[in-house]
């Protein structure tokens, strides 16, 4: 009986110890931890809010152009654009540049719009010549001469020339400034590559919106993205925002129309 009483007494003492000493200490520890965790959560939330605010401010300053990101196609041979400061035959001529990257850029359209840039007025007698070639052919698909335009971004509608691109075929197109019909070595020429692809095969994880130039650029459809952007520029020539978005795309290919 004495043993049982002694064990009971020890159990009571342990219970009292836990109630009077351990439990208050644990409660105090919890009291100190929770405010620290709450403070850390509040600081993290504040930091996230500050970052979001800075991003929104940057977007406001740069405009929607920051959302144009061109993703080059995985497949594509390198093409060299001839133009810029190159002059053939030692004769100074204005600069003509095909507005396309130095690889075979893509379109999902059978009759895409092509763009090129002329930096200054042409001299008397100089004409423009456009040539479209299939990569596997010798004779051009189309060869057409145009009168000299005013300087700036120029558009060329293949539909107007009765040209329909075949899917999966590589083409090369060129714009030339022809000054002397008897000496074509004096031409200034700019080249670019072109391929029509199946739009369903180009869809990225973000999907494809054919009305959105940012979506088109993300899906490697250079010509279609540029056409949408230039349409917006021409629709609102006094609005700097469409021009900024177009120029953002061009810069990613090392191009400028300033």
CATH 2.60.40.10 for the 73-251 domain, yes or no: yes
Query: pLDDT tens for residues 143-175?
Result: 999 888 899 999 999 999 999 999 999 999 999
Q: Is 114 left (phi over 0), alpha (psi -120 to 50) or beta?
A: beta
pTM for the model: 0.70
* Residue 192 near residue 106 (C-beta atoms within 8 A): no
% of the chain exceeding 70 in pLDDT: 64
Q: Where are the domains of the chain?
A: 2-65, 73-251
Residue with the two structure tokens 């396309």: 100
* Residue 64 near residue 187 (C-beta atoms within 8 A): no
Mean pLDDT, residues 166-192: 89
* Residue 95 near residue 118 (C-beta atoms within 8 A): yes
* Residue 192 near residue 130 (C-beta atoms within 8 A): no
Other beta carbons within 10 Å of 84: 13
* Residue 88 near residue 187 (C-beta atoms within 8 A): yes
Give phi and psi for 152, each to the nearest 5. 130, -170
Query: pLDDT tens for residues 65-105?
Result: 458 999 999 875 555 455 543 444 445 568 899 999 999 99
Query: pLDDT tens for residues 25-71?
Result: 444 444 443 445 555 555 544 544 453 444 344 334 444 445 899 99
Structure-token pair, residue 156: 């060329």
């Amino acid at each position: 009986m004495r043993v049982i009483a002694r064990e009971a007494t020890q159990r009571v003492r342990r219970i009292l110890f836990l109630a009077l000493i351990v439990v208050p200490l644990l409660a105090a520890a919890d009291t100190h931890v929770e405010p620290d965790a709450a403070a850390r959560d509040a600081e993290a939330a504040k930091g996230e809010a500050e970052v979001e605010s800075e991003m929104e401010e940057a977007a406001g300053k740069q405009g929607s152009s920051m959302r144009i990101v061109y993703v080059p196609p995985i497949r594509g041979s390198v093409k060299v654009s001839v133009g810029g400061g190159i002059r053939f035959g030692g004769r100074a001529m204005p600069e003509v540049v095909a507005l396309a990257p130095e690889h075979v850029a893509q379109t999902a359209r059978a009759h895409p719009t092509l763009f090129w840039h002329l930096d200054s007025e042409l001299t008397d007698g100089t004409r423009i010549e456009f040539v479209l070639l299939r990569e596997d052919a010798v004779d051009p698909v189309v060869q057409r001469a145009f009168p000299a335009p005013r300087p700036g971004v120029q558009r060329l509608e293949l539909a107007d020339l009765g040209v329909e691109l075949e899917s999966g075929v590589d083409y090369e197109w060129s714009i030339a400034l022809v000054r002397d019909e008897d000496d074509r070595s004096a031409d200034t020429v700019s080249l670019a590559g072109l391929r029509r692809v199946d739009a369903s095969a180009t869809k990225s994880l973000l999907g494809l919106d054919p009305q959105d130039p940012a979506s088109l650029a993300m899906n490697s459809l250079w010509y279609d993205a540029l056409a949408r952007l230039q349409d917006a520029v021409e629709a609102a020539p006094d609005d700097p925002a469409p021009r900024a978005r177009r120029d953002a795309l061009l810069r990613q290919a090392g191009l400028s129309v300033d």
